[in-house]
Amino acid sequence: FNNNQIHGFGRMEIPSTGVYEGLWKDNQQNGFGILKYCNGDVYKGCFKDGLPHGHGSLKHGSFIASAASIYIGDWVLGCKSGYGVMDDIVSGEKYLGTWLDNKKHGNGLIVTSDGIYYEGTFNQDIFTGHGLMILEDGTHYEGEFKGTGNINGKGVLTLNSGHMIEGSLMGSPSDGIKISNGTLNL
């Protein structure tokens, strides 16, 4: 304690939250600590005024039950913000890139459980604008997107045979791609 306030290293059981072990200042978690939540989640990293802030990792869910995710990266007052990596075992999706208020926002890349690679710009969790998609068989598309897997605008689709389709494309590889005002280059 310092001036009747929790200060320094300590451990506290917080009802309905979990157990915190780490640094305290002015009665709040400030500095490095580990918070083991009642639901089994674990945050290890920096805190500011009782919230994850700075660099840290959050393990969520049960890895034994294959229903978990882990985020390692930057936090701002309890929210994923800045650069971070998220591995979601449930969806099989891995994301590396920037975050803002717990959402993918800015430059990043995703690799799906189907082996599809996406790289480009995210806006509030939506893959949008100019980007790149590479399928497992080597087929790739570079151009405009409106959502993960949703081609929408001008771009170039290069098939695994090497043939290229350039023009306005719309759709997804799984549901079909509509081509308007396009050129096939053999």
List, for residues 81-105, the tens digit of each pLDDT value. Answer: 999 999 999 889 999 999 999 999 9
Query: How far from 83 is each of 100, 125, 151, 184, CA to CA, in Å?
Result: 9, 14, 26, 39
161/71 Cα distance (integer angstroms): 38
Residue 30 has pLDDT above 90, yes or no: yes
Q: What is the pLDDT of residue 185?
A: 87
Q: What is the pLDDT of residue 62?
A: 81
Residue 55 has pLDDT above 80, yes or no: yes
- Looking at residue 76, the DSSP 8-state letter turns out to be E
List, for residues 158-170, the tens digit of each pLDDT value. Answer: 999 999 999 999 9
80/170 Cα distance (integer angstroms): 32
